């Protein structure tokens, strides 16, 4: 399928290494954050989420870190695999009962 | 169905024509969202429906865009008099509940996306 974005920031990682994808958000009132993975030709797929009252949450091979002081969110992928190659989006809920606001995305390329 | 279904998967149209994009959400999901994804961009919120409440249309870029959701299930996004800048992938998502409410379980608010409808306006 076609790429979802040709001019996205790209992170290239060797297979087996750990990946860290970063995201900055602008609204200090945002209280919920979520990471999605989008493979070529597919819709975004949920990876992990975190509320603002937490600073870390772990899933299977993935960890999300939240630093509210500097309004920074990161996704760590352990032992990166070729199947992890995709575009990764962070999203935030900015206030009240509002829909998610997505960032522009980062393309992760895994080198075998 | 097991997931969110969108149709058509690809649509090529001429400038000025109207198009309709369809979304069939996961059965039982009360909230339905439309987002637009242009090349090299993130997801741009368009509209969302929550149960029988009035839809949040705050993201619709112009009055050429409209959407409806019949019977609390299937939704149709209509773009009238299409322009070349409307070319994008239109993504539909659904969730058990609407945007996360304070104290609610986050899992019920996770959006499940369809594969999208790629619109090309010539």
CA distances to A55, A79, B19, B102 from A65, rounded to whole Å, are 6, 17, 42, 21
Question: CA–CA separation, A95 vs A57, rounded Å?
Answer: 21
Q: pLDDT tens, position by position, for chain A (112 residues)?
A: 333 344 678 999 999 999 999 999 988 889 889 999 999 989 999 999 999 999 999 999 999 999 999 999 999 999 999 999 999 999 998 876 678 889 889 999 999 8
Q: A112 is written with which tokens? A: 């075998």
> A7, A35, A92, A99: which to substitute to probe chain B, counting the most B Cβ within 10 Å?
A99
What CATH number has the domain spanning A10-111?
Answer: 2.60.40.10
Q: What is the CATH number of the domain that holds B56?
A: 2.60.40.10
Residue A4: the pLDDT is 36
The count of other CB atoms within 10 Å of the CB of residue B2 is 7
The whole-angstrom distance between B42's CA and the closest CA on chain A is: 4
> Which residues of chain A are at the B interface, by a Cβ-Cβ cutoff of 8 Å?
2, 4-8, 31-32, 34, 36, 41-46, 49, 51, 89, 91, 93, 97-105
- The domain in which residue B62 lies consists of 5-100+109-117
Residue B114: the pLDDT is 97
Higher pLDDT, A82 or B54: A82
Beta strands at B10-13 and B117-121: parallel, antiparallel or unpaired: parallel
> A39, A100, A104: which to substitute to probe chain B, counting the most B Cβ within 10 Å?
A100
Residue B52: the pLDDT is 83
Residue B71: the pLDDT is 82
pLDDT at B112 over 90: yes
Residue B96: the pLDDT is 85
pLDDT at B13 over 70: yes
Residue B109: the pLDDT is 73
Higher pLDDT, A44 or B102: A44
Residue B99: the pLDDT is 64
Cβ–Cβ of B42/A105 closer than 8 Å? yes
Task: List chain A domain ranges.
Answer: 10-111
Q: Does residue B122 belong to any structural domain of this protein?
A: no
Cβ–Cβ of A43/B114 closer than 8 Å? yes
Residue B104: the pLDDT is 47
Q: How many domains does chain B have?
A: 1
Residue B98: the pLDDT is 67
């Amino acid at each position: 399928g076609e790429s979802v974005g040709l001019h996205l920031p790209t992170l290239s990682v060797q297979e087996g290494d750990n990946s860290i994808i970063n995201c900055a958000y602008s609204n200090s009132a945002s209280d919920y954050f979520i990471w999605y993975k989008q493979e070529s030709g597919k819709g975004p797929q949920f990876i992990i989420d975190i509320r603002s009252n937490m600073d870390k949450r772990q899933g299977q091979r993935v960890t999300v870190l939240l630093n509210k002081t500097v309004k920074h969110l990161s996704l760590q992928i352990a032992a990166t695999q070729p199947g992890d190659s995709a575009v990764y989006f962070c999203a935030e809920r900015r206030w009240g009962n509002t829909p998610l606001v997505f960032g522009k995305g980062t393309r992760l390329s895994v080198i075998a | 169905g097991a997931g969110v279904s969108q149709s058509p998967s690809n649509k090529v149209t001429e400038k000025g024509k109207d198009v309709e994009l369809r979304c069939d959400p996961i059965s039982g999901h009360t909230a339905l969202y439309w987002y637009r994804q242009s090349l090299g961009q993130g997801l741009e919120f368009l509209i969302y429906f929550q149960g029988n409440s009035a839809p949040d249309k705050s993201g619709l870029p112009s009055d050429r865009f409209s959407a409806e959701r019949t019977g609390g299930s299937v939704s149709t996004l209509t773009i009238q008099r299409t322009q070349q800048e409307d070319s994008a992938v239109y993504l539909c998502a659904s969730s058990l509940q609407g945007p996360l409410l304070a104290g609610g379980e986050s899992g019920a608010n996770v959006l499940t996306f369809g594969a999208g409808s790629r619109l090309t306006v010539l």
